[in-house]
Amino acid sequence: MRDNPVFSPGPGFYGRYRETEYVYARATSTVRDEPNIVLMGSRWVGKTELLLKVHEMLFRAQSAVAPVYYRFKGYGDALDLAEDFIKELIKQVVAFSRRDAGIGRMESSLDRLERLIMDGHSPDVGWLVKRYREARKSGDRVAALRNAMMAPHHLTNHTGLRVYLLLDDIHLAGSVRLYPDGPSVTGELVGALNSGAVSFAASAPPRRLPPGWTTDGRVEALTLGGLDRETSLSMMGELMRGYGLGFDTEVLEFAAVKLGRVPMYMKNLVWAARKSSQGLEDLKDFAGLYAREVTTGGLAFVFSSALTLGTTTELRVARFVARAGSSSIEEIEEAVLPGGGGLAAALDGLSRNGLVASNLGSVTWTGDGPTADFVEYLYRTRIEGATTEEAVSAIVDECLREGYRTRDDSTGASFTDQVLRALRAFDGQEVPEELLRGEYAPAGAGAAGPRPDASRTLELPELTGCFDSRRFERGEAGPPVFIARGFRKGRYDSSGEVVWLVMVKDSASPVNAGDVDNFTRRALSLARNLGSPGVVRVMTSRSGFTGEAMKKAEGLFAVDREGVTALEGILSAPAGPAPGHPAPGPGQEYEVVLPSSERAELVAARAAEEIASAMGFSEDAMGEIKAALVEACINAFEHGGLTGSRVRVKFVSRKGTLEIRVRNPGARFAGKTTTSASGGVSGELPRKRGWGIELMKSLMDDVRFERLGEGTETVLVKHLDGKEDTRDE
């Protein structure tokens, strides 16, 4: 006995245990008048797979109820539907009776089916064909359709074999006409199904049941959403492992959420990952893969096959409603069709596509997230004229922002932590200035009011320290302010010093006018205390800004959570030289001017580390350069004369050699070592002072002292290869 199911949900059917058991139990129940079932769920959520799974279970696990899976499709007219339905019914009942799945899968004409069932091994169903033929011959389409739809009932009465119908995409019957220009077949269909004589489970998208059909006591609606969290993770993880692809569970979890936990989407993404041998180990992996899938990949193909966005008006409206979530007719008209018409037709088209639902003057997006991104892609490329790369990039950005936000929410990281993390990543990068101007809205989001110039960029400082303002302003009320100090890129002197004063309002209420006044006053006082020539004032807020606050925030940067998240995304991108600001490299010079203050030599050490690192020096070599430079700076301050004098440090990098010139304007010094060795007598401790120059010479490849008109210049030289490597061996 061959007992393969006629149809199969395919490999990788996951979860839905409760639903499949529920439908299976209803199909096999002997209790009379139990309600039939309609599975309601958006496109691709897995309705078909569930019906096929139930079919498989019924086919394999019992013999009292013959399962018949029937998928509605496009037909010429009612007769085509009736004949197709009769054929499927006969084939699958015979297949079930004979336990021969091959019969259910074969393509057969009615003639061939008649011959098949006359072999004496099948239920007596020949009269069904005969009755259909009679109705067809008489041209009675209604009779032919009724006969077909009631056939399972008659078959049960005639043979004693119960039939359970699994009717997929029943809403598609709405487009079949009884005869050309006649009424839809749904009246007859609904009449038959509601008669109570036929048992079935049907599927349809939300709000797309055939007209006249209500989910009253005779039909029970079972809503199907995405898979649950555990099943989604297990499914994606299992598929990824099966393909030998690496992944991070957190990324997988975000991916599942982003894909609505819709099985088809999740499988598609994993297949795409497999195709490109791409793991899902960080958010960027997923964002890139996702954006490609919904724009030019497999999901985009599915969307473009299933959706008909025939006119630009439909596309504009779809995009507007997708972004708004829900909107009034007036708002759509004002934003999308000023002075134009065609909204009703567009809404009708979108509704047929299952993308929107209209009710009492309100329009709601009923598509899912990936479909919304597909619509966004179409809009950007077709209406705005963006290139595919630009549109994909925008979707990647948005996906990353959402991912970082989700990660922060799930890890409980506070907004304050997020701001500090972004601040500490400042390293001379350039970012779009619009990120720091008011509430951030992705380009093209349709935010109200004038938008800042998106092409302008802002250079972030190379950070040397970040701390809170408490010790500078005791007893001050208001949100915390953080002080981020650093240099403008490559300008390690006093004119390049810059301080960012960053207020953080990590609260459920937005920044209001009072907060702006508070920050403005405190920033003034802090700027005075810190004495830095360049001060940048920034307000950040977890919950945005009131209109009054934005009016008052003249001269201040204002960043909401979206903006901070976007900033984080940019700052976490792989480092590369910013346009117009090449990374320190051969043949470049930098200068740092050190004030005479505690630990000033460390500023020079940090600059040296930055430059040496960019040149490719090893960690050990960088340690030696820093230690030698610190000695040179201390020496320079020591001989610098008057308190308050400054020491200039110039870095010259060329052809694998770093030369550092430390210049003190005061008294000259000879640069002689005190002794050539440590403690004189064996066993005695070394002398305590006078080691500076000897240390410099031991740490660098070359150290020399050049006399200036006033003062001395210490020149430290380190080569990328050569001494520092051979000495260690």
Partner 1 sequence: MSNGANYRESEDCVVVYADNYINDIEGEKLEDMCDALLKKGYRKLVVDFSETDIINSIGVSILIGVIEKIKEKDCALSFSGLKKVNHNIFDVIGITRHVSVYPTEDEALGAQGAAPGPASPSPGTTVKA
Residues at the interface with partner 1 (CB under 8 A)? 598-599, 601-602, 605, 620, 623-624, 626-627, 630-631, 634, 677-679, 682-683, 685-689, 691-692, 694-695, 698-699
Q: How far is the CB of 523 from partner 1 (least distance, A)?
A: 30
Query: Quick one: which of 285, 227, 291 has its CA closest to 256?
Result: 227
Which helix (H) or strand (E) covers residue 222, if one does? strand 219-223
Identify which of residues 376 and 624 has a Cβ nearer to partner 1 in the complex.
624
CB of 675 to partner 1, least distance (A): 11
Residues whose CB falls within 8 Å of the CB of residue 475, separated by 6 or more in sequence, listed in order: none
Choice between 525 and 698, CB closer to partner 1 = 698
- What residue has token string 């006093």? 494
**Distance between CA atoms of residues 142 and 135, nearest Å:** 9
Least distance in Å: CB of 727 to partner 1? 9
Residue among 474 and 599 whose Cβ is closer to partner 1: 599
Q: Smaller CB distance to partner 1: residue 536 or 625?
A: 625
Kindly report the backbone phi and psi dihedral angles of residue 590, in degrees, each rounded to the nearest multiple of 5, phi listed first.
-135, 150
Q: Spell 365-401 as b/e; 16+ CB within 10 A means b.
A: bbbbbbbbbbbbbbbbbeeeebeeeebbebbbbbbbb
The DSSP secondary structure of 152-202, one letter per residue, reads HHHHHHHHS-EEEEEEESGGGGGG-BSSTTS-BTHHHHHHHHHTSS-EEEE
Specify the residue, 477 or 685, whose C-beta has the smaller distance to partner 1: 685
Report the residue number, 18 or 599, with the smaller CB distance to partner 1. Answer: 599
**Smallest distance from partner 1 to CB 461, Å:** 22
User: In terms of CB distance, is 243 or 691 closer to partner 1?
Assistant: 691
**Enclosing H/E stretch for 429:** none
Minimum distance from residue 636 beta carbon to partner 1 (Å): 13
Q: Which is nearer to partner 1, 374 or 617 (CB)?
A: 617
Q: What angle do CA 153, 156, 160 make, to 5 degrees?
A: 165
Tell me the closest approach of the beta carbon of residue 686 to partner 1, in angstroms.
4
Burial 544-576 (b: 16+ CB within 10 A, else e): bbbeebbebbeebbbbbbbbbbbbbbbbbeeee
| Helices 78-98 and 141-159, axial angle in degrees (round to 10) | 20
Give every CB contact of residue 283 below 8 A, 6+ residues apart in sequence.
Answer: 251, 254, 399, 400, 403, 404, 407
Of all helices (H) and strands (E), which one includes residue 599?
none
Q: Taking the mean position of all CA atoms in its chain, how far away is CA 126?
A: 57
Q: Report in angstroms how near the CB of residue 508 gets to partner 1 at its nearest.
A: 39
Q: Nearest 5°: phi and psi at 690?
A: 85, 30
CB closer to partner 1 out of 278 and 673: 673
Q: How far is the CB of 619 from partner 1 (least distance, A)?
A: 8
Cβ(267)–Cβ(237) below 8 Å: no
CA distances from 690 to 635, 685, 693, 705 (A): 10, 14, 7, 16
> What is the three-class DSSP state of 678?
coil
- Taking the complex as a whole, how short is the minimal distance between the CB of residue 464 and partner 1, in angstroms? 14
State which residue, 19 or 694, has the beta carbon closest to partner 1: 694
For the bound state, the minimum distance from the C-beta of residue 291 to partner 1, rounded and expressed in Å, comes to: 42
What span, in angstroms and rounded, lies between the C-alpha atoms of 2 and 132?
Answer: 30
And the tokens for 215?
A: 């989910």
In whole angstroms, the minimum distance from the beta carbon of 681 to partner 1 comes to 12
Q: Toward partner 1, which CB reaches closer, 155 or 625?
A: 625
How far, in Å, are 333, 633, 635, 674 from residue 688 at the CA level?
A: 84, 19, 16, 11
- Edge to edge, what strands does the sheet with 647-654 contain? 588-594, 647-654, 657-664, 712-719, 702-707
Kindly state the smallest distance separating residue 721's Cβ from partner 1, in Å: 18
Detail the DSSP E strand segments found in 8-92. Answer: 36-40, 65-71
The stretches of 475-574 forming alpha helices (DSSP H) are 513-530, 547-552, 561-571
Do 633 and 648 touch, CB atoms closer than 8 A? no
* Whether the Cβ atoms of residue 626 and residue 654 lie closer than 8 Å to each other: no
* Residues 109-141 as b or e (16 or more Cβ within 10 Å = b): ebeebbebbeeeebbebeebbebbbebbeeeeb
Minimum Å gap between C-beta 631 and partner 1 is: 6
| Nearest distance from C-beta of residue 628 to partner 1, angstroms | 9
356-359 sheet: strands from edge to edge: 326-328, 362-365, 356-359
Q: Which is nearer to partner 1, 527 or 695 (CB)?
A: 695
Which residue, 672 or 689, is less far from partner 1 as judged by CB?
A: 689
Minimum Å gap between C-beta 629 and partner 1 is 9
Measured from the CB atom, the residue of 484 and 628 that comes closer to partner 1 is 628
The smaller minimum CB distance to partner 1, of residues 376 and 724, is found at: 724
Nearer to partner 1 by Cβ, of 555 and 683: the residue is 683
Give the list of residues 6+ apart from residue 461 with CB closer than 8 angstroms, or none. 426, 428, 484, 485, 486, 487, 488, 489, 498, 500
In the complex, minimum distance from the CB of residue 455 to partner 1, in angstroms, rounded to a whole number = 41
Tokens matching residue 2: 């061959």
Distance in Å, CB of 688 to partner 1, minimum: 4
Of 477, 536, 538, 539, residue with least CA distance to 505? 539
Helix and strand numbers, DSSP H then E, in the chain: 26, 21
Q: Please, which residue, 137 or 599, has the CB nearer to partner 1?
A: 599
